[in-house]
């Protein structure tokens, strides 16, 4: 992979994480700008490393790296979730960073349209479904 392609893919992941993180920060959520940006970028770096290694040794399976990213970010997300009495907080933030990692993997794999569609989807779900979610919780 040439360096300009590496930078472009990493930049796409960074911008996607930035957009998702901006929405979370705007709404004063636990996992905000830096967290989502770093998760998307970090996931992309691991995938890009696997592509670089694949070029030098053809027996490397890049999908194994993506599987490990999923597992690692799952543990990171678990650290965001906490229980307070009968309430559980942080589930949406944990799910959002999990999505940020997946979007970082998409960007690193060169799926730029899919990266954009998924980024917009996460932002729409987090921004525009919150009122519906609150209404459903408060109905009697």
The pLDDT score that the predictor gives to residue 53 is: 87
The predicted model gives 90-110 an average pLDDT of 94
* CA gap 5, 81 in Å, rounded: 36
pLDDT band at 43 (very low <50, low <70, confident <90, very high): very high
Structural domains counted in the chain: 1
This prediction has a pTM of: 0.89
pLDDT band at 99 (very low <50, low <70, confident <90, very high): very high
3-state secondary structure of 39: helix
The CA-based dihedral angle spanning residues 116, 121, 124, 127, taken in that order and rounded to the nearest 10 degrees: -100
DSSP run (H or E) holding 87: strand 87-89
**Residue 19 reports pLDDT greater than 90:** yes
* CA gap 86, 80 in Å, rounded: 17
pLDDT digits (tens, 9 = 90+) for 23-32: 999 999 888 9
Q: Indicate the average pLDDT of the chain.
A: 91
Domain residues for the domain of 60 are 3-138
6, 29, 66 from 91: Cα distances, Å: 32, 11, 22
* CA gap 10, 42 in Å, rounded: 9
Counting residues of the chain whose pLDDT is more than 70, the rounded percentage is: 99
pLDDT band at 87 (very low <50, low <70, confident <90, very high): confident
Q: What are phi and psi of 53, to 5 degrees?
A: -65, -35
Q: What are phi and psi of 89, to 5 degrees?
A: -120, 150
Q: At what angle do helices 62-78 and 91-108 cross, to 10 degrees?
A: 160
The pLDDT score that the predictor gives to residue 4 is: 95
CA angle in degrees (0–180, nearest 5) for 95-31-63:
45
């Amino acid at each position: 992979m040439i360096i300009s392609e590496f930078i472009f893919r990493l930049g796409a992941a960074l911008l996607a994480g930035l957009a998702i993180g901006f929405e979370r920060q705007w709404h004063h959520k636990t996992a905000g700008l830096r967290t989502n940006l770093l998760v998307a970028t970090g996931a992309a770096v691991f995938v890009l490393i696997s592509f670089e290694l694949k070029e030098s040794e053809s027996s490397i399976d890049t999908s194994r790296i993506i599987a490990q990213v999923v597992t690692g970010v799952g543990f990171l997300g678990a650290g965001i979730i906490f229980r307070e009495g009968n309430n559980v907080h942080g589930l949406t933030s944990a799910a959002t960073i999990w999505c940020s990692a997946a979007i970082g993997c998409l960007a690193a794999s060169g799926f730029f349209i899919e990266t954009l569609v998924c980024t917009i989807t996460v932002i729409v779900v987090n921004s525009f479904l919150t009122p519906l979610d609150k209404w459903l919780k408060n109905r009697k």
